[in-house]
Chain A
Amino acid sequence: MSAEAEVLVEGSAGRGKALVLSAPISFWGGVDPKTGRVVDVRHPDHGRSIAGTVLFLPGTIGSSSAAAVLLELVHAGYAPAALVLHEPDAILLLGLIVAREMGWPTPVAVRLDRERHAEFATMVVTVSVDGQLSALPPP
């Protein structure tokens, strides 16, 4: 399984278990910046952790503090290994732009149509610095 995605924010290549969210999420109030866990009780993926995953986001909603949560996840070591977005969300991706300005290691963020996200569910996914996605079944 592979795909070519457009790089939105440059960063380090990432490898991790795919977490394909089944509904849009608000990072602020939806993800705990101290653990990376989905804490929105109304979200279908409530209780799962985004830390270290290749995170597929069908959409993002809500607060303009999403970038702050993402920056904190990067700083605290709970960021996803890579982010795959259906469309560029500048509010969220700003967290990565600022992380880079701060000189912190930043995961790569890429764009891929959400229709293709499900193909990667349950796989271990690698995202290269130039936006190549490759997937293997989990060991």
Chain B
Amino acid sequence: MTLALSDAERAMAAGARGAGAAMAMRIVAESARLLGAPRLIPVASAHIDGALYHGDSGTLFAEKLVEGGAKVAVRATLNVGALDLTGCSRVRLAEPARSMARRMMDAYRTLGCEQSWTCAPYQAGHRPAQGTDVAWGESNAVVFCNSVLGARTNRYGDFLDIACAIAGRAPDYGLHRHENRLATLEFDVGALPPAFLRSAFAWPILGSLYGRLVGTDIGVVTGVPSHPGEDALKAFGAAAASSGAVGLFHIAGVTPEAQDAETALGGLPPRTRIAVTPAMVADARSRLSTVARAERVDAVALGSPHLSLAEFDEIERLMAGRRLAVPLHACTGRHVVEALDAAGRRRALEAQGVVVVADTCVVVTPILPEMTAGVLMTNSGKFAHYAPGNTGYGVIYASTADCVESAVIGKPILTDIGP
């Protein structure tokens, strides 16, 4: 298929709106060609994953767009950066990386992006309407946007997200098209105990299993007895997008494009059916941990994706005013920090040993104490997946309650929750 650009798009690629906009349009068009898209479509908003410092190249790219006079054409929120600009936590990023990360964050602000700095923009007021085409980056935000909000986006990576935001266009392919959003696979969790499915602990495990088994297929989860709550869907999608290339899932009776399994499947029988057993879940749970036995826990990390205010309520309830023996890193966005500060809650948590991390998180930038063979406990499937490679810590996956109890005594507590 050949890509056809409109006159306006061709003019933009040739420099009619400046060198920065031209570079953005060429990147969008070249990606569209690679994807086999026939045309570009307008997008209503963007979520930009590209402002996280991985090295100087990303900073130089953003600054080249700024030098070319580019500005975003649509609402664009920012995903996490490598620095905590709120000052809540201390990032041990040394010079010259620190200055380059700062320059990068500044460049994205100059391009006109909102200073949201969160991987959960959908809990910070950026919720496009069902059926809207958008260009979102950050794998968990993409999967939430498609699955829970029912807006339409592909998995836009760094550079393409900001390029789409500047061009106001995205390639017409993949999950923007209705026919590509139908499930072909059924992931039946009906054999698991309902009490397990109602626990927050279950959803990162199920997501991790789902991502590994489903890969790039689109599945509908069946057998879920009741709506597990938005934070559970957030955790499921994040874990699924860490272990597989998942951009969209459906849950029958829960997500907007799956009033029932038949609707999600487009009236056809599933090509593949996975009947999830308690043994499969037990295996998926053990795979989330890289440390089998540990005498101690060195740190606890919660908040991937970023914690909601409701999740902070639960952490406070579980801590019950006790002091922690090891630091508990609570990663969140400034939208939540502002609400916590307004009630004096952040100061109280910090006095008990919580390290609130805003604008960034502990697996994308050095915040955790530097140590060899450190043991990190987390309730997040995504942290469990990425922490060993990115931080050097071994991980133990546990419930939020066990994470808090372990932080209080400094030793791993693992309650048998099932399934």
Of the residues A33, A40, A61, A102, contact of B54 by C-beta under 8 Å: A33
Chain B residues whose CB sits within 8 angstroms of the CB of A92 once the complex forms? 157
Q: Is B385 an interface residue (CB 8 A)?
A: yes
Chain B residues whose CB sits within 8 angstroms of the CB of A67 once the complex forms? 157-160
Chain B residues whose CB sits within 8 angstroms of the CB of A71 once the complex forms? 57-58, 61, 158-159
A interface residues, tally (CB under 8 Å):
38
Q: Are B385 and A9 in contact (CB under 8 A)?
A: no
Contact with B along A99-113 (1 / 0, CB 8 A): 101100000000000
Q: Are A72 and B389 in contact (CB under 8 A)?
A: no
Main SS of chain B's interface residues?
helix
C-alpha gap A68/B159 in the complex (Å): 8
Select from chain A the residue with minimum beta-carbon distance to B136.
A64
Q: Are B290 and A91 in contact (CB under 8 A)?
A: no
Q: Is B390 an interface residue (CB 8 A)?
A: yes
Chain B residues whose CB sits within 8 angstroms of the CB of A95 once the complex forms? 159
C-alpha gap A63/B386 in the complex (Å): 10
Q: Are A75 and B157 in contact (CB under 8 A)?
A: no
Q: Is A121 an interface residue (CB 8 A)?
A: no
Stretch at the interface among B25-33, B194-202, B324-332, B405-413: B25-33
Chain B residues whose CB sits within 8 angstroms of the CB of A40 once the complex forms? 388-389
Stretch at the interface among B237-245, B278-286, B306-314, B334-342: B237-245
C-alpha gap A107/B23 in the complex (Å): 20
Q: Is B138 an interface residue (CB 8 A)?
A: yes
Q: Are B57 and A74 in contact (CB under 8 A)?
A: yes
Q: Which of B243-278 contact A (CB under 8 A)?
A: 243-245
Select from chain B the residue with minimum beta-carbon distance to A93.
B34
Q: Are A68 and B389 in contact (CB under 8 A)?
A: no
Q: A61-B243, A71-B159 are in contact. Are A94 and B27 (CB under 8 A)?
A: yes
Of the residues A34, A64, A88, A99, contact of B157 by C-beta under 8 Å: A64
Chain B residues whose CB sits within 8 angstroms of the CB of A81 once the complex forms? none
Contact with A along B63-92 (1 / 0, CB 8 A): 010000000000000000000000000000
Q: Are B55 and A65 in contact (CB under 8 A)?
A: no
Chain A residues whose CB sits within 8 angstroms of the CB of B389 once the complex forms? 29-30, 39-41
Q: A41-B290, A62-B245, A90-B35 are in contact. Are A72 and B58 (CB under 8 A)?
A: yes
Chain B residues whose CB sits within 8 angstroms of the CB of A94 once the complex forms? 27, 31, 157-160
Of the residues A9, A64, A88, A102, contact of B137 by C-beta under 8 Å: A64
Q: Is B362 an interface residue (CB 8 A)?
A: no
C-alpha gap A95/B61 in the complex (Å): 11
Q: Which of A57-80 contact B (CB under 8 A)?
A: 60-69, 71-72, 74-76
Q: Are A66 and B157 in contact (CB under 8 A)?
A: yes
C-alpha gap A86/B64 in the complex (Å): 32
Select from chain A the residue with minimum beta-carbon distance to B53.
A68
By CB atoms of chain A within 10 A, which of B61, B155, B159, B215 has the most?
Answer: B159
Contact with A along B388-417 (1 / 0, CB 8 A): 111000000000000000000000000000
Q: Would you give the shortest CB distance from A84 to chain B, in whole angstroms?
A: 15
Q: Are B159 and A64 in contact (CB under 8 A)?
A: no
Q: Would you give the shortest CB distance from A80 to chain B, in whole angstroms?
A: 16
B interface residues (Cβ-Cβ under 8 A, vs A): 23, 26-27, 30-31, 34-35, 49-50, 52, 54-58, 60-61, 64, 137-139, 142, 155-161, 215, 241-245, 290, 363, 385-386, 388-390
User: What are 24 inter-chain pairs, A to B, with CB distance below 8 A?
Assistant: A33-B54, A41-B389, A42-B388, A60-B245, A61-B243, A62-B245, A63-B241, A64-B138, A64-B158, A65-B49, A65-B52, A65-B54, A66-B157, A68-B52, A71-B58, A71-B159, A75-B57, A75-B60, A91-B157, A93-B34, A94-B158, A97-B159, A101-B64, A102-B64
